[in-house]
Chains A and B, each alone.
Chain A
Amino acid sequence: MPNPVHVRIDVNGEPREADVEPRLLLVHFLRENLGLTGTHVGCDSSNCGACTCSVDGEAVKSCTVLAVQADGSQVTTIEGIGSEDDLHPMQTAFWEKHGLQCGYCTPGMIMASNDLLEHNPQPSEHEIREALAGNLCRCTGYHNIVKAVQAAAEHGLRSVSPEVTA
């Protein structure tokens, strides 16, 4: 490996360390080094948002962040916010409102939706649509994604935070 750099990144509440190539993308660090394959790659150009995860409390597109840039950060991925037995309220909302079809954009969409509610707990439909404009879905026409976010907001969902899994 050319010029490895040592990184220490807290992922879903667990410290993870590795020697990585400086050019390694955060999304590949998550997927390939850690096996956290819930974070997807859809476009390579920051347009589709399938790779959205949370870094230090902010939603980022992990296909355009280098792993070395996340050194020392707290990263939360879709795997870190809930499990099938203990769903995060936003996951429940997407399920109940049929906010997904093929499911590929869904982890990024859920992470971006959580980021929205973190900043704006009671968004209007217009605000939801604007906030999710960086996350593309080809299946749902967004109708039920908007419904899911509205439902999560109505039920007082605050945010994704590392404490969920801590």
Chain B
Amino acid sequence: MSIAEPPPVQNGHVGRSMKRKEDPRLITGRGAYTDDLVLPGLLHAAIVRSPEAHAKIVSIDTEAAKAIPGVQAVLTAADLGLAAGLPMAWVPPGVTVNTPEHYPLAKDTVKHVGDAVAVVVGDDRYAVVDAAEHVLVEYEPLPVVIDPEKALEEGSALVHEEFGTNKVHEWSLGGGDLEAGFAEADLIVERRVENHRISGAPIEPRAVVADYKSGNLQIWSSTQVPHFLRLFLAIMLGQSEEKIRVIAPDVGGGFGAKLQIYAEEPLMAVCSKVTGRPVKWVETRSEHMQVSHHGRDQVATVRLGVKRDGSITAIHSKIIADLGAYMFLLTPSIPSLGAFVMSGCYKIPAVQTDITGVFTNKCATDAIRGAGRPEATHMIETIMDQAADELGMDRLELRRKNFIPKEDFPATTALGIVYDSGDYHGSLDKLLEHFDYEAFKREQAEALEKGKHLGVGFSTYTEICGLAPSRVTGPSGFGLQTGLWESSMVRVHITGAVTIYTGASPHGQGVESSFAQIAADRFGIEPEQVEVIHGDTQTGPQGLGTYGSRSLSVGGEAMVRAVDKVTSKIKKIVAHQLEAAPEDIELQDGRFAVKGSPDKGMTLAEASGEAYIPENLPEGMEPGLEESAFYDPANFVFPFGAHACIVEVDAETGKVDIVRYVAVDDCGPAINPMIIDGQVHGGIAQAIGQALYERIHYDEQGQLVTGTFVDYALPSAADVPSFETDRTETPSTTTSMGVKGVGEAGTIAASPAILNAVVDALRPLGVTYLQMPLSPMRVWEEIQKAQGGGGASDDPGKQGGTYDAHGQGGGGSGPARPNQGELA
């Protein structure tokens, strides 16, 4: 049940839970996803993929496949003729990142299961799959590297011989005097924190349709980043950007998995060029699990220094990140995004993060919802509970003691990052209005007497999003080889209808609605009169896509700048018509009217009619009402909140049930509260999936065991509760609207709340610490271990270990001996 206050009714549309403009087409089955597209002469493609995790390609025989009726082409690496390989866009100054060549089809060796080897193109969707099975590839298996920690040991087999090591890179970020911080501490708490590999798993698999005609490429792709795709296709194909049109039509979810430049995109372009016909490829779910990038997969050793009174003196995190076999677009940079939030919402004088990236024979990891920040938040918020326990201090008291107080904002962290606004005490207070902690403690004690194990876990988090201020993330700073501005173009037609082009590329976020609400208020019209266009590089030529909770806080800010340029011109036109001064014209009740004389004014339609008749315009003014704007943010935005998760754990079976989940989030002023709640719900559910159910698991041969939804357990409606959500609204001082992002918040916040709750429930049984995923087997085994029953197997949950029937690996990869810390 939602406990949110009903949204305040305002004169305008901003702040209203308006029904979405996107929905009528989607609820009636009239959406247009990439696989829905049919073009005359359309061919279909199927890809031949490696069944080996690491092998030399001895030979590829395509003759039998080519002989099958209806097959138009079979291509291997030698046939592609690309000007460049697939991109990796992170070049951090002063840091070497070992980056292997990566082409859409493997040249001499395959590096993970699913690595593409050949592509078959033909007339019929089913027949090309048959034909792909007739492509005969001979492999010579090579030693497989699976465990990232063992991969760093002397004498390990190598994923890429040419680097002489499995180390991809080392990268650090720190601030403050770490040594002094730990010396000052009375207690140092150290934990191993595992954050296992997961899949983004949008319900729409990826799909690509390419149509190459007369040197012009038109390509449809289920992507979050159509403009990046156009740029990189130009580079890979060696042709100019303006001859490429990329369209991201309706996109069925992304979660970061579609923030990528994938092999199939240039590959379909080449297939269309070779055959002279449009070609479609649609990813199967098994392909998605194998080759659409994964997320997380970090093992960290986290040390927290704390004084007896609870003051934190230092935090140091050493992370080994399993990056997989290739460096995809942002692969090595993702763990580093977490480093920026390693002080959470706490005042910590010394903060240090050291990251080592490692090659393994697995699919690459890259951005999945939260991208580095869920991992960091999981470390901070679990170790806060561990520290509170060792100090004998209440978990919330420890948090409150270290929160950056409201009056300190803007607050500069030890890392030099400036949090523009925040009120962490406020969100925790609001959380406790909905969740009676003291009453719960009594209920918990009573339940325990009856043998029921209830627990509560908290997560008080802040995140850094709104990607991104280019001065921080660009080539000379963090090292991304791009700006991260956003762009928008606003056109008011003669009739007063408004078309807005945004470079954001939404795929479920409701941007067509929330942007229309904002623009409608600024033009004095209804949201129905505003059409928001996105995802087509021809109609909206500039943009950088949707990810990092940036659509509103960067894309929306670009839009309001373009809108304000237009309204400023409108005011001049109206002033000219009414013989007033432009500075005296303001929007009043849907009309651009003279201050103090609301009856003297013009509607948008009246003004736009004049705008296209030059003789009615002020001397020298250009006709038309069309403006564009680019916005590069001066800083990130910093959403925050407080979450509580209440669980019941069945100690007999290890099964965890989430009984209640209460979330208070702050993403600044709400544009559409309904959409915000929806984003939070989905984010929490995705974190529940990771915490309890989901895990990408490779066995010791590098075979992907969780290759379908049969084995990879996405949570269903029966696996999650309803959520109780509320908000505080602390405006960002970075954005003109005060808005911040919310798309990743739930996922960033929730996993430690769940883990802390399960630990809380099981403390009476002697369980003091756990690792995700909290599968029944793992939880049961940890209970047995704590009870001295020894039921734990030899760490089968680790990558390369055996595998349980629930698709999550066996239990027991928690610390055999949790380091209980030492009193200095």
State in angstroms the CA–CA spacing of A135 and B203 once bound together: 10
State in angstroms the CA–CA spacing of A78 and B126 once bound together: 25
Name the contact of B252 in the complex, choosing from A84, A103, A125, A135 (C-beta under 8 A).
A103
Please name all residues of chain A whose beta carbon is closer than 8 Å to the beta carbon of B134 when the two chains form the complex: none
Contact string, B671-710, partner A, CB cutoff 8 A, digits 1/0? Answer: 0001101110111111000000000000000000000111
Q: Is the CB of A50 within 8 A of B203?
A: yes
Q: Is the CB of A100 within 8 A of B205?
A: no
Name the contact of A95 in the complex, choosing from B27, B201, B252, B714 (C-beta under 8 A).
B27
Q: Is the CB of A132 within 8 A of B286?
A: no
Q: Is the CB of A136 within 8 A of B203?
A: yes
| A119 CB within 8 Å of chain B | no
Name the contact of B684 in the complex, choosing from A21, A134, A138, A141 (C-beta under 8 A).
A141
Name the contact of B125 in the complex, choosing from A28, A37, A79 (C-beta under 8 A).
A28
Known: A91-B27, A133-B717. A102 touches B722 (CB 8 A): no
Name the contact of B27 in the complex, choosing from A32, A106, A132 (C-beta under 8 A).
A106
Name the contact of B708 in the complex, choosing from A47, A95, A100 (C-beta under 8 A).
A47
Q: Is the CB of B23 within 8 A of A138?
A: no
Please name all residues of chain A whose beta carbon is closer than 8 Å to the beta carbon of B508 when the two chains form the complex: 101-103, 139
State in angstroms the CA–CA spacing of A144 and B679 once bound together: 11
Please name all residues of chain A whose beta carbon is closer than 8 Å to the beta carbon of B507 when the two chains form the complex: 102
Task: Name the interface residues of A1-60: CB closer than 8 Å to any CB of B.
Answer: 21, 23-24, 28, 31-32, 35-45, 47-48, 50
CB distance from B752 to the nearest CB of A (A): 18
State in angstroms the CA–CA spacing of A137 and B32 once bound together: 18
State in angstroms the CA–CA spacing of A105 and B717 once bound together: 13
Contact string, A117-134, partner B, CB cutoff 8 A, digits 1/0? Answer: 000000001001110111
Contact string, B444-468, partner A, CB cutoff 8 A, digits 1/0? Answer: 0000000000000000000000000
Q: Is the CB of A101 within 8 A of B205?
A: no
Q: Is the CB of B29 within 8 A of A136?
A: no
Name the contact of A35 in the complex, choosing from B38, B678, B681 (C-beta under 8 A).
B38
Q: Please, which residue of chain A has its CB at the minimum distance from the CB of B19?
A: A95
Q: Please, which residue of chain A has its CB at the minimum distance from the CB of B687?
A: A141
Task: Name the interface residues of A145-165: CB closer than 8 Å to any CB of B.
Answer: 145-146
Q: Is the CB of A101 within 8 A of B253?
A: yes
Q: Is the CB of A45 within 8 A of B285?
A: yes
Please name all residues of chain A whose beta carbon is closer than 8 Å to the beta carbon of B592 when the two chains form the complex: none
| B171 CB within 8 Å of chain A | no
Question: Interface of chain A, helix or strand or loop or mixed?
Answer: loop
State in angstroms the CA–CA spacing of A130 and B719 once bound together: 9
Task: Name the interface residues of A83-119: CB closer than 8 Å to any CB of B.
Answer: 83-84, 87, 91, 94-96, 98, 100-107, 110
| A69 CB within 8 Å of chain B | no
| B284 CB within 8 Å of chain A | yes
Name the contact of A101 in the complex, choosing from B510, B710, B722 (C-beta under 8 A).
B510
Q: Is the CB of B29 within 8 A of A37?
A: yes
State in angstroms the CA–CA spacing of A95 and B27 once bound together: 7
Q: Is the CB of B718 within 8 A of A133?
A: yes
Q: Is the CB of A138 within 8 A of B285?
A: no
| A64 CB within 8 Å of chain B | no
Q: Is the CB of B26 within 8 A of A100?
A: yes
Q: Is the CB of B286 within 8 A of A98?
A: no
Q: Please, which residue of chain B has its CB at the minimum distance from the CB of A47?
A: B709
Please name all residues of chain B whose beta carbon is closer than 8 Å to the beta carbon of A62 when the two chains form the complex: none
Known: A95-B20, A102-B253. A79 touches B686 (CB 8 A): no
State in angstroms the CA–CA spacing of A96 and B284 once bound together: 32
Q: Is the CB of B29 within 8 A of A38?
A: yes
Task: Name the interface residues of B205-244: CB closer than 8 Å to any CB of A.
Answer: 205
CB distance from B656 to the nearest CB of A (A): 16
Please name all residues of chain B whose beta carbon is closer than 8 Å to the beta carbon of A140 when the two chains form the complex: 678, 681-682, 685
Q: Is the CB of B720 within 8 A of A141?
A: yes
Q: Please, which residue of chain A has its CB at the minimum distance from the CB of B709?
A: A47
Q: Is the CB of B202 within 8 A of A102?
A: yes
Q: Is the CB of B717 within 8 A of A103?
A: no
Q: Please, which residue of chain B has its CB at the minimum distance from the CB of A1?
A: B124
Max chain A C-beta neighbours (<10 A), residue from B17, B23, B251 = B23
Contact string, B20-58, partner A, CB cutoff 8 A, digits 1/0? Answer: 101111111111110110100000000000000000000
Name the contact of B509 in the complex, choosing from A101, A107, A133 (C-beta under 8 A).
A101
Size bin of chain B's contact surface: 35 or more
Task: Name the interface residues of B285-339: CB closer than 8 Å to any CB of A.
Answer: 285-286
Known: A104-B204, A104-B253, A105-B203. A47 touches B20 (CB 8 A): no
Q: Is the CB of A87 within 8 A of B27?
A: yes
Known: A101-B510, A142-B720, A143-B722. A110 touches B710 (CB 8 A): no
Q: Is the CB of A146 within 8 A of B678?
A: no
| B716 CB within 8 Å of chain A | yes
Task: Name the interface residues of B383-431: CB closer than 8 Å to any CB of A.
Answer: none
Please name all residues of chain A whose beta carbon is closer than 8 Å to the beta carbon of B38 when the two chains form the complex: 35
| B250 CB within 8 Å of chain A | yes
| A77 CB within 8 Å of chain B | yes
Q: Is the CB of B678 within 8 A of A42?
A: no
Known: A91-B28, A102-B253. A48 touches B709 (CB 8 A): yes
Known: A23-B126, A98-B20, A139-B682. A38 touches B30 (CB 8 A): yes
| B723 CB within 8 Å of chain A | yes
| B262 CB within 8 Å of chain A | no
A-B pair number, CB within 8 angstroms? 194
Assuming A100-B23, A141-B686, A144-B678, what are 11 further A-B pairs, CB within 8 angstroms? A23-B126, A38-B30, A43-B709, A47-B714, A78-B29, A95-B20, A102-B252, A129-B718, A130-B717, A135-B716, A138-B203
State in angstroms the CA–CA spacing of A3 and B126 once bound together: 14
Interface size counted on chain A using CB atoms at 8 A: 60
| B769 CB within 8 Å of chain A | no
Known: A23-B126, A141-B682. A104 touches B33 (CB 8 A): yes
Task: Name the interface residues of B580-627: CB closer than 8 Å to any CB of A.
Answer: none
State in angstroms the CA–CA spacing of A47 and B17 once bound together: 32
Q: Is the CB of B29 within 8 A of A132?
A: no
Known: A28-B125, A146-B717. A104 touches B678 (CB 8 A): no
CB distance from A149 to the nearest CB of B (A): 10
A–B Cβ pairs within 8 angstroms, 24 of them: A37-B35, A41-B205, A42-B203, A44-B284, A45-B708, A47-B708, A47-B710, A94-B27, A98-B19, A100-B27, A102-B203, A102-B251, A103-B31, A106-B26, A128-B717, A130-B718, A134-B716, A136-B709, A138-B201, A138-B255, A138-B682, A139-B253, A141-B720, A146-B717
Q: Is the CB of A78 within 8 A of B20?
A: no
State in angstroms the CA–CA spacing of A79 and B25 once bound together: 10
Q: Is the CB of B717 within 8 A of A129?
A: yes
Please name all residues of chain B whose beta carbon is closer than 8 Å to the beta carbon of A91 when the two chains form the complex: 27-28
Please name all residues of chain A whose beta carbon is closer than 8 Å to the beta carbon of B718 when the two chains form the complex: 129-130, 132-133
Please name all residues of chain B whose beta carbon is closer than 8 Å to the beta carbon of A35 when the two chains form the complex: 38
Q: Please, which residue of chain A has its CB at the minimum distance from the CB of B684?
A: A141
State in angstroms the CA–CA spacing of A41 and B708 once bound together: 14
Q: Please, which residue of chain B has its CB at the minimum distance from the CB of A149?
A: B717
State in angstroms the CA–CA spacing of A132 and B719 once bound together: 11
Task: Name the interface residues of B121-143: CB closer than 8 Å to any CB of A.
Answer: 125-126
Contact string, B730-771, partner A, CB cutoff 8 A, digits 1/0? Answer: 000000000000000010000000000000000000000000
Max chain B C-beta neighbours (<10 A), residue from A41, A129, A141 = A141
Known: A35-B38, A104-B203. A44 touches B27 (CB 8 A): no
Q: Please, which residue of chain A has its CB at the minimum distance from the CB of B716?
A: A133
Name the contact of B681 in the complex, choosing from A39, A43, A132, A143 (C-beta under 8 A).
A143
Q: Is the CB of B250 within 8 A of A44?
A: no
Q: Is the CB of A136 within 8 A of B716?
A: yes
CB distance from A97 to the nearest CB of B (A): 9
Contact string, A55-81, partner B, CB cutoff 8 A, digits 1/0? Answer: 000000000000000000000011100
Max chain B C-beta neighbours (<10 A), residue from A23, A37, A142 = A142
CB distance from B723 to the nearest CB of A (A): 5
CB distance from A78 to the nearest CB of B (A): 4
Max chain B C-beta neighbours (<10 A), residue from A24, A96, A136 = A136
Pairs A-B, 5 closest by C-beta atoms: A38-B29, A104-B252, A103-B26, A141-B685, A102-B508
Known: A44-B284, A45-B708. A98 touches B27 (CB 8 A): no
